[in-house]
Amino acid sequence: MSHAADHHDDHHHGPATLSDGFGKWAMRWISTTNHKDLGTLYLWFSFLMFFVGGAMALVIRAELFQPGMQFVDPEFFNQMTAMHALIMIFGAVMPGFVGLANWMIPMMIGCSDLALPRVNNWGFWILPFAFTILISTLFVPGGAPAAGWTMYPPLSLQTSNAFPMLIFAIHLMGISSITGAINVVVTILNMRAPGMTLLKMPLFVWTWLITAYLLIAVMPVLAGAVTMLLTDKYFATSFFSAAGGGDPVMFQHIFWFFGHPEVYILILPAFGIVSTIIPTFARKQLFGYDSMVYATASIAFLSFIVWAHHMFTAGMPIAAELFFMFSTMLIAVPTGVKVFNWVATMWRGSMTFETPMLFAIAFVFLFTIGGFSGLMLAIAPVDFQYHDTYFVVAHFHYVLVPGAIFAIMGGVYYWLPKWSGVMYNETAGKWHFWLTTIFVNVTFFPMHFSGLAGMPRRIPDYAVQFADFNMIASVGAFGFGFSQFIFLWIVIQACRRKGEAATARVWEGAHGLEWTVPSPAPYHTFETPPVVSDAEVTAVHDEPAHA
Amino acid sequence: MATHAAIEDQYFVPAPSWWPFALTAALFVLVHGIVGYLNGTGFGTIPSIVGVIGVITMVVVWFRGVIAESEGGLYGAQVDRTYRWAMGWFIFSEVMFFAAFFGALFYARMYSLPWLGGDLPATNEVLWSGFEFTWPSNGPAALGGAFETIPAWGIPFLNTCLLVASGVTFEAAHHALKEDKRGRTLAFMVATIALGAIFLFYQAEEYVEAYSHLNLTLGSGIYGSTFFMLTGFHGMHVTLGVIMLTVVTVRIAFGHFTTDRHFAFEAVGWYWHFVDVVWIGLFIFVYVV
């Protein structure tokens, strides 16, 4: 291949660095088709958005520290809640998972790159542009979108100049997600090394295959929904106006047909990461590999038939309420299979508690709490009380922060030595973990109580009986936010190659093709398909008890 | 065929490329233009024009590059499979996009309008007492005023025949290509393009008729909304399909493709059949039922 010939011309073989000059360095990142470069870009973008969205969360928590109006006016407060959600979902969590997929899937299945590397570049570079459009709405007349990330009409149609910017930013993010997802599916289906059969793939690859399928299925539906909003506002259509025979509730149906699979898009890759980390540090095979795959597929299927549980109070025939209540409860079955499998994997294992494992164990505990509160919300008659209260806020933050975000953080700690070639600072990692875990609970656990007592979501002021719990939550939020600077420092240190050199295997109990290449992973890996040895794949596979 | 064998053994990894970034930048400019136009800031026209030119340029540059790589023999069987999978999943995403609009049509006809019309007596009484459900409907406020619909068995039926026929002529072209009969391939491709173009002509004529004589517009309540959005997005897809058909026809004229390797041609065919199937759905649920 051509870069073998380049080797002699170029002093340091490989991609341009800053020492080659800024222009060359910038062009390297702009034009890169390398899955590792793009994975890095995705992860840094995700990290940046995590801080931007987090700063908005702190504006919200500062305002809610005490009852009464303190820092911001209500309109700006509402802009913060809508923007915080949009940025965290589409800017932090999804690109975080795509970054991990970029880095790890080709190395896990033994191929050189994603199937469509230029499309991969396109999928990434759309995001900075899309978020420039979205975040710049803060500075246009009328301010940013303030009708929540769900954009329910007719309220969202009152958004001023920010409105078309919001819609087109979502269209661009949709292009990014769909092209990225097609790339992942095609890579997994077409590029596996010989011998890497579907049921030998690491679970992270499996969960991403199913996630990508969900993305391709539902992102176009979101595009359709926001397009209808756009034409309702500017081109006189009446999809969501009863006067013309449409229905505002119809938007909720279309939106949540996207939105519920979307929440599994935000959690299935997390399941894959946790299923990768736990066997490594329990030094045992993953318990119930096949059932994990089937459970993931079942969750994906069920995600298409539960959407209206977000709308129990919006007005639906009783038969529909019952159907969506029971279908939602069914999801507890495959999810329970997973939780039991993780626990069974740890059962009698030789456990050690490095930072990735701590995050994975915290995930199992805290995600399960979020799952249980979800089960409570699934009960339609009870949901009439819970709907639009802080109980819902507590629920989805438990599944998204100590769920999705903890998995991303655990994954970063787990694979950082493979990416950078150096071990991160374990003491700092433990500090980061414990502060994060304590503060995440201080932040979100009291919200269950204020929610059950009736505190509504998305309000800048509240009745005085909620004051204590809000004060605790705000303290926790600031503690959580500032703890993340430890994480930032750890990652920067690793990027600067500060730390002990990592071995190829990195973790004693780690198995998989990604651990057969050196640390840091060379710029190009598996340019010819590797031999897939049983030692690397059976370790993640369910074996009979005598093994 | 020694080089061919060597390609089969290796993954194809393209060199770094500025195309995707430039395409994104052009999209960004285009979005600013449309936003400026919608917000009436007086700063819409120039970015829109620059954006459209930029997007078209970059799409052309990118596809030219891919065609050059393909004709240069850089693509092995694995790349061929990659494109097949990718095209299939792309069409699936398109199906889901149309599903959102069909969903809106079904929901309005099966639920929201009947409920408003009295199936849920309280809704009817409180919101629009006296409104009765009929279809087509522009809603209880009769938005846009009285209108007539396009009769299904006139131009729409003719259009159905045209599109189905174009699917048949495309397959005839495909068979001819596989038998290496280039002249016949070209003739059938020209017929396919012509049928698609005539479809578009009639569709445009139908819109003119709707706006100028039937008072059927985008503003005609839920009927106008679903009618124009479904047929409009379909028409945009037919337009894109005709462009794609034209491109592969020109490529055939230039001697591209072989009897057994011509996936770009087949991909256009998949897309064209998809557009055809969507139309049949439209014909049944928008025009006939």
Q: Mutate one of A20, A34, A41, A237 to test the B interface: name it (highest B CB count within 10 A).
A: A237
Cβ pair A427, A523 in contact under 8 A: no
Taking CA atoms, A492 is separated from A177, A486, A519, A522, in Å, by 27, 10, 17, 20
Instruction: Please give the ipTM for the structure prediction.
Output: 0.95
Q: CATH code for B1-75?
A: 1.10.287.70
From chain A, the residues in CB contact with B100 under 8 A are 220-221, 223-225, 228, 254, 257
**Partner-chain contact A254 B104, CB within 8 Å:** yes
- pLDDT level of residue A538 (50, 70, 90 thresholds): low
For a pLDDT cut of 90, what percent of chain A falls above it?
92
CA dihedral A499, A505, A508, A509 (to 10 degrees): 130
Residue A481 included in any domain? yes
Q: Which structure tokens are listed for A513? A: 């093709």
SS3 A440: helix
Give domain status of residue A282, yes or no: yes
The most distant pair of C-alpha atoms in chain A lies apart, rounded to whole Å, by 73
Alpha helices in A191-202 (DSSP H): none
pLDDT digits (tens, 9 = 90+) for A464-523: 999 999 999 999 999 999 999 999 999 999 999 999 999 999 999 999 999 999 999 999
Tokens at B53, concatenated: 């030119």
Question: What's at A517, amino acid-wise?
Answer: V
Mean pLDDT of A176-193: 96
Q: Which of A112, A122, A245 sits opposite B137 (nearest CB)?
A: A245
pLDDT at A183: 97
B16 → closest Cβ in A33, A165, A178: A33
pLDDT digits (tens, 9 = 90+) for A39-68: 999 999 999 999 999 999 999 999 999 999
- What pLDDT score does A95 carry? 98
* Residue B93: closest C-alpha in chain A: A216
CATH superfamily of the B77-288 domain: Cytochrome c oxidase, subunit III, four-helix bundle (1.20.120.80)
A318-330 and A332-346 helices cross at what angle (nearest 10)? Answer: 10
Check residue A21 and give left, alpha or beta (phi > 0: left; psi -120 to 50: alpha): left
Q: A164 CA to chain B: closest CA distance, Å?
A: 6
Give the pLDDT confidence of A374-384 residue by residue, as tens digits.
Answer: 999 999 999 99
pLDDT tens digits for B27-75? Answer: 999 999 999 999 998 888 999 999 999 999 999 999 999 999 999 989 9
Nearest CA of chain B to the CA of A512: how many Å? 21
Residue A512 lies in a domain: yes
Taking residues A208-229, report their average pLDDT. 98
Tokens 């915290």: give the residue.
Answer: A362
How close, in Å, is residue A224 to chain B by CA atoms? 6
Q: Residues of A with CB below 8 A from B89's CB?
A: 181-182, 185-186, 216
Q: A538, exposed or middle or buried, with CB in 10 Å at 0-12, 13-18, 19+?
A: middle
All residues of chain A having their beta carbon less than 8 Å from the beta carbon of residue B41 are: 161
Interchain CB distance below 8 Å, A33 and B217: no
CA distance A33 to A29: 9
**CA–CA distance, A236 with A244 (Å, rounded to integer):** 10
- In angstroms, the CA B159 to CA B177 distance is 27
Helix axes A426-452, A406-420, angle to 10 degrees: 160
Phi, psi angle pair for A33, to nearest 5°: -115, 15
Q: Is the torsion defined by CA of A70, A75, A78, A83 positive or negative?
A: negative
For residue A110, pLDDT over 50 is answered with yes
Q: Do B15 and A2 touch (CB under 8 A)?
A: yes
User: Residue B43's pLDDT is what?
Assistant: 84
Q: Is the CB of B14 less than 8 angstroms away from the CB of A217?
A: no
Of the candidates B25, B98, B104, the beta carbon closest to that of A250 is on B104
**A254/B141 Cβ within 8 A:** no
**What dihedral do alpha carbons A496, A501, A504, A509 form, nearest 10°?**
-110
Q: Is there a domain that residue A526 lies in?
A: yes
pLDDT cut 70: percent of chain A above it: 96
Q: Please say whether the dihedral angle defined by the alpha carbons of residues A308, A310, A312 and A315, taken in this order, is positive or negative.
A: negative
Q: Which pLDDT score, from 0 to 100, does residue A13 have?
A: 54
| pLDDT score recorded for residue A17 | 87
Q: Which of A14-18, A409-413, B92-96 has the lowest mean pLDDT?
A: A14-18
Q: Report the range of poorest mean pLDDT among A130-144, A326-340, A525-539, B139-153.
A: A525-539
Chain A hits for B23, CB-CB cut-off 8 Å, are 122
Task: Note whether A237 contacts B225, CB cutoff 8 Å.
Answer: yes
What are the φ/ψ torsions at residue B131 (nearest 5 degrees)? -75, 135
Report yes or no: A175 and A120 within 8 Å, Cβ to Cβ: no
Location of structure tokens 């897809």: B237
In the predicted structure, residue A9 carries a pLDDT above the cut 90: no
Q: Report if residue A238 sits inside a domain.
A: yes
Collect all residues of chain B within an 8 Å Cβ-Cβ radius of residue A527.
10-11, 13
Buried b (16+ CB within 10 A) or exposed e, A15-36: bbeeeeeeeeeebbbbbbbbbb
Instruction: Please provide residue A455's backbone torsions phi and psi, each rounded to the nearest 5 degrees.
Output: -75, 125
Largest CA distance in chain B: 79
Nearest CB to B34 within list A168, A221, A243: A168
Check A125 against B38: CB less than 8 A apart: no
- Contact A470/A459 with Cβ under 8 angstroms? no
Q: How far apart are CA A252 and CA A239, in angstroms?
A: 12
pLDDT for the residue B4 = 43
What is the pLDDT at residue B141? 94
Question: With DSSP H G I counted as helix, E B as strand and the rest as coil, what are the percentages for chain A, rounded to 5?
Answer: 70, 0, 25
- Please list the rounded mean pLDDT of every run of 10 residues in chain B (289 residues): 47 89 97 95 91 97 95 91 97 98 97 93 90 94 95 96 98 97 97 98 97 96 97 98 98 95 96 98 96
Identify the domain containing residue A335 by its residue range. 35-540
A150 C-beta neighbours (distance < 10 Å), count: 16
Report angle CA A105, A106, A110 to the nearest 5 degrees. 115
Inter-CA distances, A330 with A155, A303, A378, A396, B202, Å = 33, 10, 10, 18, 50
Residue A177, class by beta-carbon neighbours within 10 Å (0-12 exposed, 13-18 middle, 19+ buried)? buried
Q: Give the 3-state secondary structure of residue A151.
A: coil
* Per-residue model confidence as pLDDT tens digits over A437-446: 999 999 999 9
The verdict on a CB contact (< 8 Å) between A122 and B20 is yes
Taking one residue from A and the other from B, the number of pairs with CB-CB distance under 8 angstroms is: 219
The reply to whether residue B27 touches residue A246, judged by beta carbons under 8 angstroms, is no
| Chain A residues closer than 8 Å to B36 by CB | none
Q: How far is CA B274 from the centre of its chain?
A: 9
CB-nearest to B39 from A116, A164, A254 is: A164
**Chain B residue with the nearest C-alpha to that of A239:** B222
B97–A224 C-beta distance less than 8 A: yes
Does a structural domain hold residue A534?
A: yes
Measure CB to CB from residue B112 to each of A118, A119, A247 and give the nearest one: A247
Sign of CA dihedral A273, A276, A280, A284: positive
In a 13 Å sphere around the CA of B127, the CA atoms on its Cβ side amount to: 25
C-alpha–C-alpha distance, residues B241 and B238, integer Å: 5
Q: Output the six-digit token pair for B177.
A: 């290509």
Give me the residues paired with residue A422 across strands.
Answer: A501
Residues of B in contact with A220 (CB under 8 A): 93-94, 96-97, 99-100
Nearest to A346 by CA among A302, A252, A282, A300: A282
Question: Which residues from chain A sit within 8 angstroms of residue B229, using beta carbons?
Answer: 227-228, 231, 237
A417–chain B nearest CA distance, Å: 26
Closest chain A CA to residue B141: A243
Domain count for chain A: 1
The Cβ of residue B145 has, within 10 Å, a number of other Cβ atoms equal to: 11
Q: Which residues of B touch A232 (CB under 8 A)?
A: 225
Three-class DSSP category at A143:
coil
Distances (CA, A) of A525 to A107, A113, A502, B11, B168: 7, 8, 17, 11, 46
* pLDDT score, position B41: 86
pLDDT at A545 over 70: no
Would you name the residues of A annotated as active-site residues?
A: 84, 113, 149, 176-177, 260, 262, 264, 275, 309-310, 335, 338, 457
Distance CA B59, CA A235 (A): 28
Supply A148's token pair.
Answer: 């929540």
Q: Which residue of A has its CA nearest to B7?
A: A1
Q: Under an 8 A CB cutoff, do A242 and B116 touch?
A: yes
Q: Where are the domains of chain B?
A: 1-75, 77-288
pTM equals 0.95
Q: Which domain CATH number covers A502?
A: 1.20.210.10
Q: How far apart are CA B64 and CA B61, in angstroms?
A: 5
Task: Report d(CA A239, CA B106) in Å as an integer.
Answer: 12
Structure confidence at residue A11 as a pLDDT band (50, 70, 90):
very low
Quick check: helix, strand or coil at residue A501?
A: strand
Residues A223, B62: C-beta atoms closer than 8 Å: no
Spatial neighbors of A332 by CB under 8 A, at least 6 apart, are: A371, A375
Closest to A97 in 3D by CA, of A322, A249, A264: A264
Question: Is A245 within 8 Å of B113 when comparing Cβ atoms?
Answer: yes
**Burial (0-12, 13-18, 19+ Cβ within 10 Å), A509:** middle
CB A462 within 8 A of CB A61: no
Beta bridge partner(s), residue A501: A422
The CA distance from A10 to A8, in Å, is 6
Return the pLDDT at A228.
Answer: 98
Inter-chain touch A528–B10, beta carbons under 8 Å:
yes
Does a structural domain hold residue A351? Answer: yes
Angle at A383 between CA A382 and CA A387, to 5 degrees: 140
DSSP A461-494: ---GGGHHHHHHHHHHHHHHHHHHHHHHHHHHHH
Q: Which of A190, A191, A311 to mutate to test the interface with B (most CBs of B within 10 A)?
A: A190
